[in-house]
C-alpha cells in the first residue's frame, strides 16, 4: 500500500485512500461501529454484496465518459481484485464485483493512475451526474451539456455540503427536449434552453424519483441562466441536508421533503440559502470537455453476402448521424450490461482504428462510439461482429435494461438478469420486427427499488413473490404505461398484475400480440394503453397469473436450480446514520479538524460548513443522552433549544456581536444569513469550537459524577 503514496500526484486523493485504509483497519479492530463504517465506505464506492465477505466497487464516471486506457485499466483491476467482469449501470457507472474489503484501497489507487475515482459513487452523497450519451454529437441539441455535467461533478466532489446527507441525490442533463436522460425522475434535472438573446440556460426539474413510490419532477425554472446552475444546486443541497429526513430512509429522498414541506416552501428555503453560497454565479468552463482526436481515415471494407442483411439491420438500428458532418455515432448493445474483461480488451483493440477515443456508457447499459466516418462503418461492423458486439436493435424493444438482481444485490428478490435474456430471446425469435421499435422500452428490476427504472418503462417488471399451495413462488410485478413524453414530462408505469416469474414471457407475448392486433399502425403504445385502460390489461393477463395451474418448475426462479426462497438482506443504497453518543462526539472532533484545515487554506465556505456540522453532531450527541432522536438537522437545533437552552441547562457563550445568542437555532443558522467571508468564518469556527469543547467537558463530568 505504500507505493501509491508517491506515485499518485493528487495529495487529496492520496489522503482519501489512506483514510479508507486506516478506517478499514480501525473497523477490523472494533474501533468503529459497523453502521458508521458502512456510511464511510459507501461514500468511497465500496458497497456490500449479497455474498458475505466481498464487496461491489462502483466506479464513478461522470456522464459515462471513458477513454480506451480507462477501460483497459478497469479491466486490469477487475481481473486483479474482482471477478473479471465489468457491469455497466443505468447511471453510466461501471461496477466490479467480488472484491475483498481489505484490498479496496489498493484497487482505488490503481484506478486513480488513470484519473478514475470511486469517491461518492455510493452513499448519502451526490451520485454520478448523468447526461444523454449523445450530448455533443446530437444534431438537434441547442448546445453540448457535457461541460455543465462535468462542472457539477467537479464542484460537488468532496464538497462538505453533500457528504453526509439523509439520502442520495441524483442529477441529470438531457441533450434535447426528447429528454433521453430522464430528467423527470431525478432530484434535479436540466434541459438546455436559449433565451430571446440566444443566451444559454436550462429548464429545471426538481423533486422526481422512482423507487417503490414514483414521483414526477416539478418544473421550477423555465430558464435558469447557465451561470446560476451550480449556485442553485448548492442552495438546494444545503436545504436537503438541513431539512431532509434522516431516520426513516424510506422517506428520506428529496421528493418526500417536497411532499412534506410543499414545493413553495422548498423554493423559499432555496432562496434563503443563496447568501451562504460560495459563489453567487459560477462560470462554466466550456473547454473542459474538448472534442477528441479524430481517428485516421480508413478504406471502406467489404461486407460478406452472409452478413449483408445483418449489416443493414445494424445500420438501421445502431448507427446515427452526428451533428459533425460526415461522422456517425455507433451504439453497441451489451446484454444485461455485462462485459467480461477479456472481451473488453478485445473490444478496445477492435474499435480503436475506427472511432475517437471517447466512449460513452449509455443509460440503458450499452456503449456509444463516436466520430466514425462513413467509410469506416463497414470495417467497424466487421470488427464488432467477430466479437458478437454487432447485435442490432439498440435501445429498441429488444434491448432490455436490467439490474443485477439476486446475482449480487442484497435487496434482490428475483433473478432479473436471466429473465432479461429470456425475454430478449422471445423478441428476437418471435417478434423480430420489434427490434426496429424504439418507442417501447422494457425494464426489469430485481426488487421494487427501480434501479433499472422499471417505473418509467412501457412494459416493466420487478421482482416479487406470491404464495401458493403452502409454498413461496418467485413472481414479477407487471407494470405498464410508463415512459418519456418529452421536455421534462414523463409517465409513471401502473402496477397491473403479479404473475409467477416463469410466466413473464407469456405476459410479454400477450401484450405484444394484443398491441399488434388491436392498435392502428400509427398509434403509439402510450395512446394504445390509455385507450384500452388498466383493467383491459388486467383482464388480458389474469389467466397468466392463475396460480391454480402452477407446475413444479415454476417454484424455481430463472437461472436457479433450487426451490425459490425470499432472502433479502439489508440494502446499502445509502448509508445508515449511527446514533451513538461517543461516535458522534468523535465525529464532531474530526469535523472540527476539517474546519480548521479549510480555514487555514482560506476556504471560508468549507470551513463554515464543517463548523456547522460540528454544531449539529455535538447537539445530536447531547440529545441522545436524554433519549431524544430527531430525524432532521433542523429538528436537532430546535430540540436542543427545547431541552437544553430553554431549560438553562446550557448557556450559550458570546457569538458574533459580543452578545449571547438567544437560541441555539439562531446561533447555528447564522450560516445562511452571512456571506462566506473571512470575518464570519473566523467567528463561526470559534463558536463551534467553544460549543464542542463545552459539551465534551460537560459529558466527561457526567461520567465522573
Query: So what's the pLDDT on residue 700?
Result: 75
Give phi and psi for 49, each to the nearest 5: -95, 170
Compute mean pLDDT per 10 residues along the chain, 705 residues long, and list them: 64 90 88 77 84 91 98 98 96 96 94 95 94 97 98 97 94 98 97 98 97 93 98 98 93 96 98 96 94 93 96 98 97 96 98 98 97 98 98 96 79 84 96 94 90 93 90 93 95 95 96 95 94 97 94 88 55 43 78 95 96 94 89 96 93 64 91 95 95 86 62
pLDDT at 14: 92
Phi, psi of 203 (to 5 degrees): -75, 135
**Contact yes or no for 384/416 (Cβ under 8 A):** no
Distance, in Å, from the CA atom of 584 to the CA atom of 618, rounded to the nearest integer, reads 7
CA angle at 687 for the pair 638 and 239, rounded to the nearest 5°:
45
In this prediction, residue 566 carries a pLDDT of 56
In this structure, what C-alpha cell is assigned to residue 176? 434535447
pLDDT at 659: 61
What stretches of 568-630 show up as alpha helix (H) in DSSP?
581-600, 604-625
Q: Determine the pLDDT at residue 657.
A: 55
Continuous segment of H or E residues that includes residue 489 = strand 489-491
**DSSP-assigned letters across all residues of 180-239:** TT-GGGSSEEEEEEE-TT--EEEEEEES-B-TTS-BPPEEEEEEEEGGGHHHHHHHHHHH
Structural domains of the chain, ranges and CATH numbers in brackets: 4-112 (3.90.480.20), 130-276 (3.30.413.10), 305-386 (3.30.70.3340), 401-555 (3.30.413.10), 581-704 (1.20.120)
Element (H, E) at 535: helix 534-541
For residue 1, the model assigns a pLDDT of 47
| Own/partner long-range contacts of 699-705 (Cβ < 8 Å, ≥24 apart) | 699/581, 699/585, 699/621, 699/622, 699/625, 702/625
Q: Identify the CA nearest to 170 among candidates 137, 135, 217, 231.
A: 217
Q: Are 276 and 604 in contact (CB under 8 A)?
A: no
Q: Which residues are bridge partners to 58 per DSSP?
A: 95
Select from 352, 387, 381, 390 the least CA-distant residue to 67: 352
Q: Read out DSSP for 37-87?
A: HHHHHHTTTEEE-SSTT-EEEEEB-GGGEE-HHHHHHHHHHHHHHS-SEEE
Sequence-distant (6+) residues with CB within 8 A of 676 are 276, 277, 278, 604, 605, 608
Output the pLDDT for position 570.
Answer: 46
What confidence score (pLDDT) does residue 447 get?
A: 86
Amino acid at each position: 500500500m505504500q507505493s501509491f503514496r508517491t506515485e499518485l500526484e493528487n495529495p487529496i486523493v492520496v489522503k482519501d485512500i489512506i483514510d479508507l485504509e486506516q478506517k478499514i483497519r480501525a473497523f477490523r479492530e472494533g474501533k468503529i461501529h459497523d453502521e458508521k463504517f458502512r456510511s464511510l465506505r459507501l461514500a468511497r464506492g465500496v458497497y456490500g454484496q449479497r455474498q458475505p465477505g466481498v464487496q461491489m466497487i462502483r466506479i464513478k464516471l461522470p456522464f459515462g465518459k471513458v477513454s480506451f486506457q480507462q477501460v483497459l485499466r478497469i479491466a486490469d483491476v477487475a481481473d486483479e481484485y474482482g471477478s473479471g467482469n465489468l457491469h455497466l449501470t443505468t447511471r453510466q457507472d461501471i461496477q466490479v464485483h467480488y472484491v475483498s474489503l481489505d484490498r479496496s484501497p489498493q484497487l482505488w489507487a490503481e484506478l486513480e493512475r488513470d484519473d478514475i475515482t470511486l469517491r461518492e459513487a455510493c452513499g448519502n452523497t451526490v451520485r454520478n451526474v448523468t447526461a444523454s450519451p449523445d450530448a455533443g454529437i446530437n444534431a438537434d441539441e441547442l448546445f453540448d451539456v457535457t461541460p455543465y455535467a462535468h462542472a457539477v461533478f467537479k464542484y460537488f466532489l468532496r464538497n462538505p455540503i453533500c457528504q453526509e446527507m439523509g439520502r442520495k441525490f441524483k442529477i441529470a442533463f438531457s441533450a434535447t427536449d426528447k429528454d433521453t436522460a430522464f430528467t423527470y425522475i431525478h432530484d434535479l434535472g436540466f434541459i438546455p434552453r436559449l433565451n430571446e438573446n440566444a443566451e444559454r440556460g436550462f429548464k429545471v426539474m426538481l423533486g422526481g424519483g422512482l423507487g417503490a413510490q414514483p414521483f414526477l419532477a416539478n418544473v421550477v425554472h423555465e430558464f435558469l441562466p447557465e451561470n446560476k446552475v451550480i449556485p442553485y444546486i448548492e442552495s438546494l443541497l444545503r436545504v436537503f441536508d438541513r431539512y431532509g429526513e434522516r431516520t426513516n430512509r424510506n422517506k428520506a429522498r428529496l421528493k418526500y421533503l417536497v411532499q412534506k414541506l410543499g414545493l413553495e416552501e422548498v423554493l423559499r428555503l432555496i432562496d434563503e440559502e443563496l447568501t451562504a453560497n460560495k459563489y453567487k454565479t459560477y462560470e462554466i468552463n466550456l473547454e473542459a470537455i474538448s472534442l477528441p482526436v479524430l481517428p485516421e481515415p480508413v478504406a471502406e471494407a467489404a461486407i460478406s453476402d452472409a452478413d449483408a442483411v445483418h449489416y443493414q439491420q445494424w445500420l438501421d438500428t445502431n448507427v446515427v448521424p452526428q451533428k459533425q458532418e460526415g461522422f456517425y455515432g455507433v451504439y453497441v448493445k451489451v446484454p444485461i450490461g455485462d462485459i467480461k474483461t477479456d472481451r473488453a480488451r478485445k473490444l478496445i483493440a477492435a474499435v480503436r482504428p475506427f472511432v475517437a477515443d471517447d466512449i460513452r456508457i449509455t443509460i440503458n447499459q450499452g456503449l456509444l462510439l463516436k466520430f466514425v466516418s462513413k467509410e469506416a462503418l463497414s470495417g467497424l461492423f466487421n470488427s464488432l461482429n467477430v466479437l458478437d458486439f454487432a447485435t442490432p436493435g439498440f435501445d429498441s424493444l429488444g434491448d432490455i435494461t436490467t439490474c443485477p438482481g439476486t446475482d449480487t444485490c442484497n435487496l434482490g428478490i428475483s433473478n432479473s438478469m436471466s429473465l432479461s435474456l429470456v425475454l430478449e430471446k422471445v423478441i428476437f425469435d418471435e417478434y423480430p420486427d420489434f427490434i426496429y421499435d424504439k418507442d417501447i422500452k422494457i425494464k426489469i428490476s430485481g426488487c421494487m427499488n427501480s434501479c433499472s427504472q422499471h417505473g418509467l418503462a412501457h412494459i416493466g417488471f420487478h421482482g416479487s413473490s406470491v404464495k401458493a399451495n403452502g409454498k413461496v413462488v418467485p413472481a414479477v410485478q407487471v407494470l405498464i404505461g410508463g415512459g418519456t413524453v418529452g421536455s421534462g414530462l414523463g409517465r409513471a408505469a401502473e402496477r397491473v398484475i403479479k404473475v409467477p416469474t416463469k410466466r413473464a414471457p407469456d405476459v410479454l407475448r400477450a401484450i405484444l400480440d394484443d398491441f399488434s392486433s388491436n392498435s392502428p399502425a400509427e398509434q403509439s403504445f402510450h395512446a394504445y394503453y390509455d385507450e384500452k385502460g388498466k383493467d383491459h390489461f388486467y383482464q388480458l393477463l389474469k389467466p397468466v397469473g392463475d396460480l391454480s395451474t402452477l407446475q413444479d418448475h415454476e417454484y424455481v426462479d430463472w437461472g436457479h436450480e433450487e426451490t425459490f426462497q425470499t432472502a433479502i438482506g439489508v440494502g446499502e443504497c445509502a448509508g445508515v446514520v449511527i446514533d451513538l453518543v461517543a461516535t458522534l462526539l468523535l465525529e464532531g472532533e474530526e469535523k472540527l479538524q476539517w474546519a480548521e484545515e479549510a480555514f487555514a487554506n482560506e476556504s471560508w465556505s468549507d470551513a463554515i460548513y464543517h463548523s456547522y456540522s460540528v454544531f449539529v453532531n455535538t447537539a445530536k450527541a447531547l440529545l441522545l443522552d436524554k433519549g431524544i432522536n430527531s430525524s432532521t438537522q433542523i429538528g436537532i437545533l430546535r430540540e436542543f433549544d427545547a431541552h437544553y437552552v430553554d431549560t438553562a441547562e446550557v448557556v450559550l457563550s458570546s457569538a458574533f456581536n459580543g452578545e449571547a445568542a438567544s437560541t441555539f437555532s439562531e446561533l447555528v443558522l447564522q450560516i445562511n444569513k452571512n456571506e462566506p467571508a473571512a470575518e464570519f468564518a473566523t467567528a463561526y469556527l470559534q463558536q463551534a469550537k467553544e460549543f464542542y469543547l463545552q459539551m465534551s467537558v460537560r459529558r466527561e463530568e457526567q461520567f465522573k459524577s
